[in-house]
Amino acid sequence: MGDIILTMKGIDKTFPGVHALDHVDLEIRRGEVLALVGENGAGKSTLMKVLTGIYKKDSGTITYEGHPVEFNNPREAQDAGIVIVHQELNMIGHLTVAQNIFIGREPRNGPFIDDAKMNADAEKLFQELNIEIDPKETMSRLTVGRQQMCEIAKAISHRAKIIVFDEPSAALTDAEIAQLFKIIRDLRKKQLGIVYISHRMDEINQITDRVTVMRDGHNVGTMLTSKSSKEDIINRMVGRVIYENPKAQSNVKPDAPTVLKVEHLNAGRMVQDVSFELHKGEILGFAGLMGAGRTETARALFGADPKQSGEITINGKKVDIRSPEQAVRAGLSYLSEDRKRFGLMLKKSIAENSTITCLPKYCRGPFIDKHREREVSRKYVEELKTKTPSIDQMVINLSGGNQQKVIIGKWLIGDADIMIFDEPTRGIDVGAKQEIYELMNRLVSQGKSIIMISSELTEILRMSDRILVMCEGRITGELDIKDATQTKIMYFATQRA
């Protein structure tokens, strides 16, 4: 690790009702990867947004290359060589790769954009990163992983000296993560300072040199990664011990009735002849690699995507579900993997989001009964321990874990008996994960039934009573939890039916 390139000292930031950063210190060095970890809402992203000029700090100092700085917007930070690669990619789908990389600063030949030079400059960037991407390709045609590589190339094009990676691996395959790590190691050799924000503890151990832990807006310590165990880091993050042992046996009663039966479900290439049963009080895990068809199966079951054929039986009665509205009436709920796009009204309050699935129950004539709406939303905010200054808080201002709790609360208010949880802990820290796990166990003990789709094998093994594995749109294996291992799951995940 090299010299200190940037120091943040005594950074303070307050939003209405929330003290997001309380005199936080941070140090970034040349040629190192610094992990920045903490629960959702701990202040990690806020601190980085202060650094890159997205937010203005209330107090404190930032020293960069020996000089005090204060950036008024991200462009000023980029021009100085400090760039953030956001979790939600900021690419424009209909433009080419090169156009996305150089947007707003295209090379020109007189009054015209010099496309040939722009493509050549993009090609040079990709060669530096050892990536094979066609600069003329339309961005929307690339996988999420390759779009992420384009974001990194864009960061390098600003002659970056510090790059912040905010949850960069959340939507990547294992192969894409391996390529990402290779790029980060190469950047480290070139003496860049790298900040790596992630909730995945295994990644922290693989790629970082030091770990700075944040909790409730404070820096609670920095340690060498090589001298810190996973348990040390987690304990500092949450202030308590988190257990991650796999489930030893199913908790479902032998005579538990079948609440959902799916027979020969077909919905395009990604859902082919899918059949399974779900029992009362069961957590049925769906495992498989990215693109296996798990989410597509859930969406077809819930009526979000059209099905071509197949029968669905709920509590012994055949149902014809053609829309999410019909699914809700049949007693189903669906917590989407993309909560911001499909699960929430981000610019509405917690109270307004909470009753949206069963709004007629909270109306008097043509008007919403605001008193009852607030009463029920407050009840579930308290029950789920959602961190918020009030139920009037806009959902966009909540952390990822608390946004997830608002969605769960919404479905609990709707009183659904069969709940589909699609990647329920994606982008959520270990403390919030524990709370979601405890909630799921509580729900099934009360007689609810859960289908859980997850790409994390440790999560599948920890939560499921039974596991179905998919590959290329088909179910290729079924395992009782007592017989399940990561090796067996991966075997079925790579087998064509």
* Angle of CA points 149, 151, 152, to nearest 5°: 65
* 294 and 217, same domain (yes or no): no
Cα 403 to Cα 398: distance, rounded to the nearest angstrom: 6
* Angle of CA points 266, 333, 340, to nearest 5°: 95
Cα 69 to Cα 49: distance, rounded to the nearest angstrom: 14
Structural domain includes residue 252? no
Q: Per residue in 43-91, pLDDT tens?
A: 888 999 999 999 999 999 999 999 999 999 988 998 999 998 876 667 7
User: Picking from 54-63, 111-120, 144-153, which range would have the lowest pLDDT averaged per residue?
Assistant: 144-153
Structural domain includes residue 245? no
- Helices and strands (H and E) in the chain: how many: 16, 24
Asked if 396 contacts 347 with a C-beta cutoff of 8 angstroms, the reply is: yes
Q: Give the Cβ contact number of residue 466 at 10 Å.
A: 21
* 228 and 267, same domain (yes or no): no
* 96 and 230, same domain (yes or no): yes
Q: Is the pLDDT of residue 405 over 60?
A: yes
* 71 and 155, same domain (yes or no): yes
Asked if 332 contacts 326 with a C-beta cutoff of 8 angstroms, the reply is: no
Dig out the tokens for 293 from the structure: 């068809």
* 272 and 234, same domain (yes or no): no
Structural domain includes residue 219? yes
How many domains would you assign to the chain? Answer: 2
Structural domain includes residue 243? no
**Residue 12 corresponds to which amino acid?**
D
pLDDT band at 319 (very low <50, low <70, confident <90, very high): very high
Q: Residue 389: its pLDDT value, please?
A: 83
Q: Residue 301: its pLDDT value, please?
A: 96
* 206 and 304, same domain (yes or no): no
CATH code for the domain of 315: 3.40.50.300
Q: Residue 40: its pLDDT value, please?
A: 66
Q: Per residue in 340-360, pLDDT tens?
A: 677 688 788 888 888 777 777
Contacts of 293 (CB under 8 A, 6+ apart): 270, 271, 272, 274, 470, 472, 473, 474
Q: Which strands form 258-266's sheet, in the order they lie side by side?
A: 274-279, 258-266, 309-314, 317-319
Residue ranges with strand state E in 107-225 = 108-109, 112-113, 162-166, 193-197, 210-215, 218-224
pLDDT band at 1 (very low <50, low <70, confident <90, very high): low
User: Picking from 215-229, 420-434, 451-465, 481-495, which range would have the lowest pLDDT averaged per residue?
Assistant: 420-434
Q: Is the pLDDT of residue 406 over 70?
A: yes
Q: Share the mean pLDDT of the chain.
A: 87
C-alpha R_g of the chain: 24
Cα 301 to Cα 293: distance, rounded to the nearest angstrom: 12
Q: Residue 413: its pLDDT value, please?
A: 77
Q: Per residue in 347-395, pLDDT tens?
A: 888 888 887 777 777 788 888 878 788 888 888 788 878 888 888 888 8
